[in-house]
Amino acid sequence: MYRYDEFDQAFVAERVAEFRGQVARRLSGALTEDEFRPLRLMNGLYLQLHAYMLRVAIPYGMLSSRQLRQLAMIAERYDRGYGHFTTRQNIQFNWPRLTDVPDILAHLAEVEMHAIQTSGNCIRNVTTDPFAGVAADEIIDPRPVCELLRQWSSLHPEFSFLPRKFKIAVTGAAADRAAVFFHDIGLRAVAGDGREPGWQVIVGGGQGRTPMIGAVVREHVPNGQLLTYIEAIMRVYNLCGRRDNKYKARIKILVHELGLEAFREEVEAEFETLGVSTRQLEEKELARIATYFSAPGYAPAPGDEAALTTARALDGVFSAWVEQNAFPHRVPGHAAVTVTLKRPGGEPGDATAAQMRGLADLADRFSRGELRVTHEQNIVLAHVRKKDLKALWEGLAALDLAEANRGLVTDIIACPGLDYCALATARSIPIAQKISTRFAAPERQREIGPLAIKISGCINACGHHHVGHIGILGLNKAGEEYYQITLGGDATENAAIGERAGPGLSSDEVADAIERLVDHYIAVRQEGEPFLSAYRRLGADGFKEALYADRQNR
Amino acid sequence: MLIARTGEIANGWHRLDDSAPIPEGGDIIISHRRLNERLQHETAHGRIGLEVANDIDVGDLAGVLARLTLIAVEFPSFADGRGFSIARRLRHLGFNGELRAVGPLIADQLSHAIGSGFDTVEIPTALAERQPAAHWLAALTTVTTAYQGNTRGRRSILEARHGG
């Protein structure tokens, strides 16, 4: 994975010193709270419901075991012993004190980490496919471009006071595991047809209160011109994006109001005026960064397949975990394993300091000391020998992290909701807990098959409910929390926004309603047909009827 | 207070009220709506500065840039970053005079202003009392490295790495 050189290290060290000075000036009154707010946000520090929350960047989700141990130390020393992994491949600490934050940032800098631009109206942490570099369907490894974007966007003089936050996602594979159609800018690798490797650029996607599927603004930008093209998009957005209403300030609204054609013309005109001098530099830098991501020298593993088959035959629980949580690796004899942070009844995405240390140790033993955080709030170990899967699984079981539920009904995405978040209108975590408890039986989960439930505690959609096969949106009417259900959302290359099923449900009704919905699906599905396919084939009516069956009977 | 990368500097320019007559001499900053009037005032001498709002179409100025010595870009709020992109566009168009950011910017934005192509920042007096020049200089000198180059000759980390 990427390692800082002396320039990167000096940069984060200076940023820590800068923030220390900003905190001091806030405490002295030189900075008003209004002036301090964007500065602390640009260092990932939110003022939440009960306390400050620090969001630490995990650039494109890549973590070393050393970094994870440092996060565990921070969780213990400055927080309450746990951290929360988010849908943007970051980690959040919910209880730091303002005066401790500069020290926490210094501890992060010790392990080549930071909290730069995890919040604020700037370019946020770039996200990507957690299987980057190992997926069999990969066209271009997206991580060098992600790292180039991380550097270029860090403390960008021109683009740090944008109309609104700005999120970029990159996928290098044929399948989209980074939700590129739901970001301000999405990049998809393109190659072949005699073209040099490059990127399809998608713009104006997003969730929130106005969900939109992004549109292709350009079919192909060569690698070495990508930053220049993105700079052109950013400049048009910075100058033309709305600033009169924060709910209409995202680029998706600009694209929508201007129209894609007019927006494209603006961007292309800007792109034309920018010189070519920097493009060679980008190529050189991409080549330099790429050396950090060259495939590790995998040992040939001809006997692994047989060893795994034997181990699976002897232990059905282990076998089910392999079936569900192992992702095909491009190198024979290896697997990329998802460790879900979704124990039924638990808090989605949370990990204790002990679990973080345990995961770091397992990564060292079995996966080259490297981990990835996924936008589904799980952890991926990307380089596991198949003969080691059994020992890894046993190690995970000892950490209470061996759930065989990746992509299943209990692998629920949920935002922190009203338990933590100042913006939330309803609780998310207890709803996730009720549903995952209801469906806890492993056989039941496997019987249901692939099903993505996503829960947001407010209209801002941090829990990605719009793209859940079943989406749950928590709202509040006259002091009463209630939940709106959407059906048919899809975050992949077949992007779709879920449709609202009907009236809201009380928190007590949700789990029952979801269960009726699932039972209906099982009754009507064809052999091997996943929930989403059945929903698309049959249409919404039967599913809605099942969802509200109790009301009709009353 | 007027701040440059070296700290507080003297302001040699006079900002002309829109209702005041255009003087025969002296360096004056005029609003955009009086630009033609000043350009056509053939007997007036002295240098011309132009103050523009941050929703201006920079392309409209292309024809007059050569006659301007200073362009001041208004920042209605420190959170409104349009001025940074306007500065970049003016530099791309070849404007080589003084670029000045005018408004309630904060000390931490001096590096953003310079990085985007500004030379100076002019802030209201009340803000200067709370954020004296020393704060601006301290903020500027705390972060000395950047991944982005700028039009005023700062080498980026990328350039340093690759000997650009």
Residues in chain B: 164
Verify whether the Cβ–Cβ distance B89 to A285 is below 8 Å.
no
Predicted pLDDT at A23: 92
Over residues A189-237, the pLDDT tens digits come to 998 778 888 999 999 999 999 999 999 999 999 988 999 999 999 999 9
Contact B111, B140 (CB under 8 A): yes
The two tokens of residue A416 are 């922190």
Contacts of A225 (CB under 8 A, 6+ apart): A279, A282
Instruction: Give the closest of A121, A155, A273 to B92, CB-based.
Output: A273
Contact residues, chain A to chain B, C-beta under 8 Å: 5, 7-8, 10-11, 14-15, 17-18, 21-22, 25, 29-32, 35, 38-39, 121, 151-152, 154-162, 235, 238-239, 243, 273-274, 278, 281-282, 284-285, 288
Determine, for residues B143 and A239 on separate chains, whether the beta-carbon distance falls below 8 Å: no
For residue A371, pLDDT beyond 70: yes
- If pLDDT is split at 50, 70 and 90, which confidence band does A98 have? confident
**B82/A243 Cα distance (integer angstroms):** 10
Closest by Cα among A127, A141, A152, A4 to A62: A127
Is A14 close to B143, i.e. CB distance below 8 A? yes
Instruction: Report how far residue A251's alpha carbon sits from residue A263's, in angstroms, rounded to the nearest whole number.
Output: 10
Is the predicted pLDDT of residue A554 greater than 60, yes or no?
A: no
The verdict on a CB contact (< 8 Å) between A161 and B108 is no
Query: Between B86, B138, B144, which is nearest A21 by CB?
Result: B138
Cα B28 to its chain centre, rounded Å, is: 14
- B38 in A contact zone (CB under 8 Å): no
For chain A, say whether B46 makes contact (Cβ under 8 Å). Answer: no
User: Does B160 contact A at CB distance below 8 Å?
Assistant: yes
Q: Do A274 and B115 touch (CB under 8 A)?
A: no
* B163: contact with A, CB 8 A cutoff: no
Task: Report the alpha-carbon distance of residue A253 to residue B73 in Å, rounded.
Answer: 26
Identify the residue among B85, B116, B131 best suited for mutation to test binding to A, counting A beta carbons within 10 A and taking the highest. Answer: B85
Q: CB of B131 within 8 Å of any CB in chain A?
A: yes
pLDDT value at position B152? 65
Token output for A134:
């190992």
Residue A394 has pLDDT above 90, yes or no: yes
The structure's pTM equals 0.96
pLDDT of residue A278: 59
Q: Which residues in chain A are closer than 8 Å to B105, comparing Cβ atoms?
A: none
Q: Which of A43-52, A94-103, A432-441, A517-526 has the lowest mean pLDDT?
A: A43-52
Question: What's the confidence (pLDDT) of residue A298?
Answer: 87
Tell me the ipTM for this assembly: 0.96
Q: Cβ contact (<8 Å) for B81 and A152?
A: no
pLDDT digits (tens), chain B, 164 positions: 999 999 999 999 999 999 999 999 999 999 999 999 999 998 889 999 999 999 999 999 999 999 999 999 999 999 999 999 999 999 999 999 999 999 999 999 999 999 999 999 999 999 999 999 999 999 999 988 899 976 666 789 999 999 85
B108 and A10 in contact by Cβ < 8 A? no
Q: Which helix (H) or strand (E) holds A476?
A: strand A470-477
Q: Is B94 on the interface with A (CB under 8 A)?
A: no
What single-letter DSSP state applies at residue A212?
B
What integer best gives the mean pLDDT of chain A? Answer: 95
Instruction: Quick: pLDDT tens for A490-523.
Output: 999 999 999 999 999 999 999 999 999 999 999 9
pLDDT at residue A471 greater than cutoff 90? yes
For residue range A163-174, what is the model confidence (pLDDT) as tens digits?
A: 999 999 999 999
What pLDDT is recorded for position A170? 98
Chain A nearest-CA distance from B106, in A, is: 7
Cα separation of A6 and A343, whole Å? 41
Q: Do B115 and A157 touch (CB under 8 A)?
A: yes
Check if B153 contacts A (Cβ < 8 Å).
no
**pLDDT-based confidence at A300, cuts 50/70/90?**
confident
Query: Could you count the other beta carbons within 10 Å of the beta carbon of residue A360?
Result: 22
The predicted structure's pLDDT at residue A223: 87
Q: What is the pLDDT of residues B68-104, one digit of tens each?
A: 999 999 999 999 999 999 999 999 999 999 999 999 9
Instruction: Give the phi and the psi of residue A261 in degrees, each rounded to 5.
Output: -65, -50
| pLDDT per position as a tens digit, A256-279 | 999 999 999 999 999 999 876 556
Note whether B115 and B154 are within 8 A (CB): yes
Q: State percent of chain A over pLDDT 90.
A: 89
Q: Are A274 and B92 in contact (CB under 8 A)?
A: yes
Phi and psi, residue A477, nearest 5°: -125, 120
Sort out which chain B residues have CB atoms less than 8 A from A238's CB and list them. 81-82, 84-85
- Interhelix angle A316-325/A304-314, rounded to 10 degrees, is 130
